[in-house]
Amino acid sequence: MENELETLRKELLDQNTRMIVIKGLRRTGKSSLMRVALNETKVPHIFIDLRLSTPFTPDNFYQYFSKELGKFLKEKTLKKMLSRIKGVEISGFKLEFKEKKINIIAEILEEIGKWAKDKQIVLAIDEAQDLRYMKGFDKILAHIYDYVKGIKILLAGSEVGLLDKILGIGDSTAPLFGRAFAEINLKKLSKEKSIEFLKAGFEQVGIKVSDEEINKAASILDGIIGWLTFYGYLRTRGYSNALERTIDEGSKLIANEFKQFLNIRQIARKRYIEIMKTLIRPSRWSEVKRSLRIISNASDKQISNYLKELTYYGFIEKKDNLYFISDPLLIEAIRKGYIE
């Protein structure tokens, strides 16, 4: 990811860049890219990883935010500025929310921006589409963008359609509508790059793995760096069946993620599962409709909405009028009956 990393470093250091957005499927390396770039540029930052809360809760957001702020409380001037905010309590290097209100977060960021001045602190949020559960946070981001020059915004998300909603793409009523941002799109690795990635990793830790096994892993895991990394980790831990374990454990993990998606869609649950079974093989809209006739009479509008939702959440993609499942281990999960 040399090009993507260089682009992100450049945008982080550019005082004129107000917002950076990283998009990509699950496990394509967004989090690693963010952390490496932030560490290499040594830009001061607040890093909120919303993946750590599954399912997401606002309470956890306040907890993570409070923890990240602790590293800035060594600065006496900032500590004094924040201590004046009603609703927070500071003890040593720890800040606690006495009241969990969105306006208090806004005040904290306002004060941090004033303190930072020209230094620019980066507010980095991973899996930022979950901010939709924090009512009013998109307004805070818009305010920061427009008026708090001491803070730069960095967002990453795997549920691209939902992230676009946060960004106000195509919605003139959204707070962030029309704000320019630098966009970095992460794709799957090519098979050649996957092989290169695995070989470099094994060489670094001094483990010899046959070209045949590496080629097989690269083919099956289809360029998803998270699965390649998991396989590499298991292999370096001495598991000769590392690829088989990656496929089995990975497919169970992603099956659970899909089940969480289904949990709030119980009425249409069977329809979603039937669609995913159909999309094991790339299919057109008409083929999806035909498959659904087996279990129900879904309207054309309902079918389009189902496909839209699956795309928004990053479970499927669309290219050249064909819908297909993005992750090979999700296909494996469906084949093995982990999703029923």
The predicted model scores a pTM of: 0.90
pLDDT value, residue 314: 92
Question: Quick one: 225 and 177 in the same domain?
Answer: no
Q: Span 69-97, mean pLDDT?
A: 91
pLDDT value, residue 54: 62
Q: Span 139-159, mean pLDDT?
A: 95
Where is the domain boundary, 186, 205, 229?
186
pLDDT value, residue 108: 95
Domain extent, residue 283, equals: 257-335
What whole-number distance in Å separates Cα of residue 220 and Cα of residue 293? 32
Question: Quick one: 159 and 216 in the same domain?
Answer: no
What whole-number distance in Å separates Cα of residue 83 and Cα of residue 124? 23
How many of the other CB atoms lie within 10 Å of CB of 101? Answer: 14
pLDDT at 318 over 90: yes
Name every residue whose Cβ is closer than 8 Å to that of residue 118 and which is 6 or more positions away in sequence: 15, 150
> Is 49 within the bounds of a domain?
yes
pLDDT at 256 over 70: yes
pLDDT value, residue 53: 62
Name every residue whose Cβ is closer than 8 Å to that of residue 299 and which is 6 or more positions away in sequence: none
What whole-number distance in Å separates Cα of residue 69 and Cα of residue 88? 12
**pLDDT tier for residue 295 given thresholds of 50, 70 and 90:** confident
pLDDT value, residue 55: 67
Q: For the domain that residue 54 is a member of, what is the CATH number?
A: 3.40.50.300
Question: Quick one: 199 and 229 in the same domain?
Answer: yes
Question: Quick one: 164 and 116 in the same domain?
Answer: yes
- Which amino acid, one-letter code, is at 52? L
pLDDT value, residue 267: 92
pLDDT value, residue 117: 80
pLDDT at 247 over 80: yes
Question: Quick one: 116 and 102 in the same domain?
Answer: yes
Number of compact structural domains in the chain: 3
> Is 249 within the bounds of a domain?
no
Helix (H) or strand (E) holding 182: strand 182-186
pLDDT value, residue 50: 86
Q: Is the dihedral of CA 10, 174, 151, 38 positive or negative?
A: negative
> Is 246 within the bounds of a domain?
no
> Is 20 within the bounds of a domain?
yes
Question: Quick one: 164 and 128 in the same domain?
Answer: yes
pLDDT at 284 over 90: yes
Please give the angle made by the CA atoms of 94, 98 and 99, to the nearest 5 degrees: 130
175 cis-preceded (ω within 30 degrees of 0) = no
> Is 250 within the bounds of a domain?
no
pLDDT value, residue 58: 84
What whole-number distance in Å separates Cα of residue 220 and Cα of residue 237? 20
> Is 248 within the bounds of a domain?
no
> Is 68 within the bounds of a domain?
yes
Where is the domain boundary, 162, 186, 210?
186
**Per-residue model confidence as pLDDT tens digits over 37-62:** 999 999 999 999 887 766 678 888 88
pLDDT value, residue 89: 92
> Is 29 within the bounds of a domain?
yes
Q: For the domain that residue 271 is a member of, what is the CATH number?
A: 1.10.10.10
Question: Quick one: 63 and 177 in the same domain?
Answer: yes
pLDDT value, residue 60: 85
Is 279 exposed, middle or buried, given 0-12, 13-18 or 19+ CB atoms closer than 10 A?
A: buried
What whole-number distance in Å separates Cα of residue 65 and Cα of residue 60? 8
Question: Quick one: 323 and 174 in the same domain?
Answer: no
Question: Quick one: 209 and 135 in the same domain?
Answer: no
Question: Quick one: 179 and 197 in the same domain?
Answer: no
**Per-residue model confidence as pLDDT tens digits over 85-118:** 999 999 888 999 998 899 999 999 999 999 998 7
pLDDT at 3 over 70: yes
Question: Quick one: 270 and 303 in the same domain?
Answer: yes
pLDDT at 190 over 80: yes
pLDDT mean across residues, the chain: 93
Helix (H/G/I), strand (E/B), else coil: 180? coil
pLDDT value, residue 57: 82
Question: Quick one: 78 and 175 in the same domain?
Answer: yes
pLDDT value, residue 294: 83
Check if the beta carbon of residue 253 is closer than 8 Å to that of residue 264. no
Helix (H/G/I), strand (E/B), else coil: 34? helix
Name every residue whose Cβ is closer than 8 Å to that of residue 188 and which is 6 or more positions away in sequence: 25, 28, 222, 223, 224, 225
